[in-house]
Amino acid sequence: MDRANLNSQLEHLQSKYVGTGHADTSKYEWGVNQARDTYASYVGHYPMMSYFALAENESIARVKFNITEKMVQPCGPPPERRE
């Protein structure tokens, strides 16, 4: 398998699955993907939501909202890009 082919496959993969990474993925990118995946998973599992709601003493809808909000820049602003 030549390199170009591998890269094009990777590109395709990346376009299908945002969370996949490559050799140059930074800590920040990986962290963001992890966080988004995590929150998306929580929202998708109702028992988890109700457990968090209980723990936080909030309504389930509120917890859900908070988590969804957090998915925007879950780890804060991106680091300065070094050129």
State the residues that interact with another protein by CB under 8 A. 1, 13, 17, 19-23, 25, 27-28, 30-31, 34-35, 37-38, 41-42, 44, 48, 51-52, 54-56, 67, 75-77, 79
Using the minimum distance from each CB to another protein, give the nearer residue, 48 or 60. Answer: 48
- Closest approach of Cβ 83 to another protein, in Å? 18
Dist CA 81 CA 73 (whole Å): 16
Closest CB to another protein among residues 34, 68: 34
Tokens of 81: 């890009």
E strands, the chain, are none
CA dist., res. 70 & res. 28, Å (int): 15
